[in-house]
């Protein structure tokens, strides 16, 4: 497939815009500080002390060389047991050697401690960011999860929760490097100030080249997000328990492998071309920096021959210049990488900037307890984002309090869409839905949903314990075992759970080692138990018995009829033996209500209902 168009912000990104992404570092550092103030402070203190150790070690080395030369010129004294005593000719040299040893040991300890603190802080940061990502995702609208562009943004944001772990160490390493550079620069300025200018001139080309290729790398990653999501999907489809049966039966393995290989090769070629260009230009530009170093080295050697510098000075200046060049090169390269990673951080923070539209209004109304009049649909119309066809339109009906209402119709008639509007997973594009005479959008959203128990046909099979699979209906009661057991009894899931090795504590599914897989009908009974666990005022069952046999289906609906007494309920089913138990039935066709009434009334007055009923009944004759 052709690659998606380049995002305008990347395709037209100027240097100012690229480095403008550094604005993301402030909230990033704020997140780090929030993660652990103690670890952050300790890490910075350790690094600041470590930053002074290279120049201290190098300067002590200079003093050692000068001391050795001075001793050699004055005649080398014989060493004896008084070597370390004050006043001995070698005492100063011994002290300097011990001091350099101490600097070396301390530098190693500080470096290891910084690495430890980095790893601890990075892990806590990753956990905190993942939690924030999950929390924000939970606030988004269902529409956002059904939008492929938002899914791309979510995928990029998810990668940043772990993908930016190195940025933490880079930022702290930069702070440490800056302190070291300042200390080395002070030494160089004291001898030859123009060496600093030479260094900067030599390193700028490499820095600009690195920044340019970082931006190109981000652009490539950004454009390839859909392909990477497809790779993940193909990987999961080809090697998961959910798809294994069909992959084997239909012989899909070769096709999936070929498709994965073609897509992976396409991404590899794009990455290889960029890597080759980066390596070529990086080598050329780095050579410029190397030439600058040797020009400075030759100048220092010449000044030493003139007698301006001592041998210790020569060693210190040459090593300091080399270290300073390396530090500046790494710092500029790291700064360029940080600027590139800041572009990636925009993926994380831009996801956090997605604002949900379906929220509770200010001064929201509390959900009525009990519901008095019921729900009223007034000329309700809705179409999914990007769709030309209306999913439902001109819906006019009332769901009375305490009524069991059934929805029937062919696939695509709008039954599930109506339920999503009722649960306010979507808001109407036309008209309004009233609850006890007030617009549904005026009520507190969390209270509204906590009073609605919905089981969709495509319910989730949670890879958790049997008790948790039912408790998700009201997760705050996850430790209320009597309530879970009662909900399981109502949905007849208790019969399933009693046969499990660990009963309610048995892990379900095959994702984890001790899990037990259930049949489709058994999973469905647990899902129905969630509706009873919720103890909501409005119960909605969307094809709840599709995987059940005839006897189980009959028993479920009989129990549902009994347990929904006094509650408002909506039932969607293609089986007319089930819907005839409802107080009233709505027949939907092409998103509109074509007829309404009892089973007997519709047989007499609705040709479509009578035809569908007869077609289904004929199958049992």
Q: The domain that contains 253 carries what CATH number?
A: 1.20.1560.10
Q: Strands (DSSP E) along 561-619, which ranges?
A: 568-572, 584-589, 592-597
Q: How many residues does the chain have?
A: 621
Tell me, rounded to whole angstroms, the distance of Cα 229 from its chain centroid: 13
304 and 391 share one domain: no
Q: Please say whether the beta carbons of 210 and 333 come within 8 A.
A: yes
- Cβ burial 87-98 (10 Å sphere, 16+ → b, else e): ebbbeebeebee
384 and 426 share one domain: yes
Alpha-carbon separation of residue 171 from 32, 443, 583 (angstroms): 11, 46, 66
Residue 546's pLDDT is: 60
Confirm whether 3 is domain-assigned. Answer: no
Q: Is it the case that residue 109 has pLDDT exceeding 90?
A: yes
Report which listed range, 134-148, 186-200, 328-342, 583-597, is most confident.
583-597
CA–CA distance, 553 with 578 (Å, rounded to integer): 8
389 and 521 share one domain: no
445 and 429 share one domain: yes
Q: Which of 481, 510, 535 is the last residue of a domain?
A: 535
CA–CA distance, 139 with 141 (Å, rounded to integer): 7
242 and 341 share one domain: yes
Q: What total number of domains does the chain contain?
A: 3
CA–CA distance, 597 with 604 (Å, rounded to integer): 10
Predicted structure pTM score: 0.63
Q: Which of 505, 535, 565 is the last residue of a domain?
A: 535
Confirm whether 6 is domain-assigned. Answer: no
Confidence band of 7 (pLDDT split at 50, 70, 90): very low
Confirm whether 302 is domain-assigned. Answer: yes
Q: Is it the case that residue 572 has pLDDT exceeding 50?
A: yes
Reported as a single tens digit per residue, the pLDDT across 423-470 is 888 899 999 999 998 999 999 988 888 888 887 777 788 888 999 989
Which CATH number characterizes residue 530's domain?
A: 3.40.50.300
Confirm whether 2 is domain-assigned. Answer: no
- Work out the mean pLDDT of the chain and round it to a whole number: 78
Confirm whether 315 is domain-assigned. Answer: yes
More confident call, 53 vs 7: 53
504 and 481 share one domain: yes
In Å, the largest CA–CA distance within the chain is: 125
Q: Please say whether the beta carbons of 128 and 34 come within 8 A.
A: yes
Residue 234's pLDDT is: 74
What average pLDDT does range 609-614 have in this prediction? 80
Reported as a single tens digit per residue, the pLDDT across 150-186 is 777 777 777 766 656 677 777 888 888 888 888 877 7
Reported as a single tens digit per residue, the pLDDT across 290-314 is 676 677 777 777 777 777 777 777 7
490 and 401 share one domain: no
Confidence band of 129 (pLDDT split at 50, 70, 90): confident
Confirm whether 620 is domain-assigned. Answer: yes
209 and 339 share one domain: yes
Confidence band of 46 (pLDDT split at 50, 70, 90): very high
Confidence band of 4 (pLDDT split at 50, 70, 90): very low
Residue 12's pLDDT is: 40
121 and 211 share one domain: yes
160 and 225 share one domain: yes
Confirm whether 425 is domain-assigned. Answer: yes
CA–CA distance, 592 with 395 (Å, rounded to integer): 6
Residue 563's pLDDT is: 65
Q: Is it the case that residue 389 has pLDDT exceeding 70?
A: yes
248 and 286 share one domain: yes
546 and 530 share one domain: no
Look up the domain containing 45 and give its range: 16-352
């Amino acid at each position: 497939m052709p690659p998606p168009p380049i995002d305008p912000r990347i395709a037209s990104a100027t240097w100012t815009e690229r480095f403008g992404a550094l604005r993301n570092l402030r909230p990033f550092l704020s997140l780090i500080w929030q993660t652990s103030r103690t670890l952050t402070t300790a890490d910075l203190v350790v690094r600041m002390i470590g930053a002074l150790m290279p120049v201290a070690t190098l300067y002590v080395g200079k003093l050692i060389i000068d001391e050795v030369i001075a001793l050699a010129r004055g005649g080398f004294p014989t060493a004896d047991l008084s070597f370390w005593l004050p006043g001995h000719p070698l005492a100063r040299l011994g002290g300097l050697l011990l001091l350099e040893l101490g600097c070396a040991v301390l530098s190693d300890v500080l470096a290891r401690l910084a690495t430890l603190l980095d790893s601890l802080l990075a892990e806590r940061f990753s956990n905190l960011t993942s939690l924030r990502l999950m929390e924000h995702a939970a606030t988004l609208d269902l529409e956002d999860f059904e939008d492929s562009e938002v899914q791309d943004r979510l995928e990029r944001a998810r990668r940043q929760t772990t993908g930016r772990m190195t940025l933490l160490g880079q930022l702290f390493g930069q702070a440490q490097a800056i302190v070291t550079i300042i200390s080395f620069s002070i030494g160089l300025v004291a001898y030859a100030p123009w060496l600093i200018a030479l260094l900067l001139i030599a390193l700028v080309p490499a820095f600009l080249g690195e920044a340019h290729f970082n931006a190109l790398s981000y652009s490539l990653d950004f454009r390839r997000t859909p392909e990477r999501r497809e790779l993940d999907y193909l990987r999961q489809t080809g090697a998961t328990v959910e798809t294994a049966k069909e992959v084997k039966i239909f012989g899909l393995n070769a096709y999936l492998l070929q498709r994965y290989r073609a897509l992976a090769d396409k991404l590899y070629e794009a990455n290889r071309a960029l890597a080759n260009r980066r390596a070529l230009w990086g080598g050329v530009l780095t050579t410029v920096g190397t030439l600058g170093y040797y020009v400075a080295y030759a100048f220092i050697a010449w000044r030493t021959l003139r007698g301006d510098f001592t041998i210790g000075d020569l060693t210190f200046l040459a090593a300091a210049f080399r270290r300073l060049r390396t530090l500046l090169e790494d710092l500029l390269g790291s700064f360029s990488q940080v600027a590139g990673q800041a572009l990636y951080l925009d993926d994380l923070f831009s996801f956090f900037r997605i604002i949900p539209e379906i929220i509770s209004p200010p001064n929201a109304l509390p959900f009525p307890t009990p519901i008095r009049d019921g729900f009223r649909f007034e000329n309700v119309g809705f179409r999914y984002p990007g769709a030309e066809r209306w999913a439902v339109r001109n819906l006019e009906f009332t769901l009375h309090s305490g009524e069991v209402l059934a929805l029937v119709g062919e696939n695509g008639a709008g039954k599930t869409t109506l339920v999503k509007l009722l649960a306010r997973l979507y808001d109407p594009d036309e008209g309004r839905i009233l609850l006890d005479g007030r617009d549904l959008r005026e009520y507190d959203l969390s209270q509204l949903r906590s009073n609605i128990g919905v089981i969709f046909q495509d319910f989730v099979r949670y890879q958790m314990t049997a008790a948790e699979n039912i408790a998700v209906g009201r997760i705050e009661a996850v430790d209320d075992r009597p309530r879970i057991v009662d909900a399981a009894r109502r949905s007849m899931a208790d019969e399933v759970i009693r046969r499990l090795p660990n009963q309610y504590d048995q892990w379900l599914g095959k994702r984890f080692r001790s899990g037990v897989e259930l049949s489709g009908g058994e999973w469905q009974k647990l899902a129905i138990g969630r509706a009873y666990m919720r103890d909501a005022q409005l119960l909605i069952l969307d094809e709840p018995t599709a995987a059940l046999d005839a006897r189980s289906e009959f028993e479920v609906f009989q129990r549902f009829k009994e347990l929904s007494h006094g509650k408002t309920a909506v039932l969607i089913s293609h089986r007319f033996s089930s819907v005839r138990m409802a107080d009233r039935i709505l027949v939907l066709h092409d998103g509109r209500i074509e007829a309404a009434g009892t089973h007997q009334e519709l047989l007499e007055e609705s040709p479509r209902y009578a035809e569908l009923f007869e077609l289904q009944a004929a199958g049992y004759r």
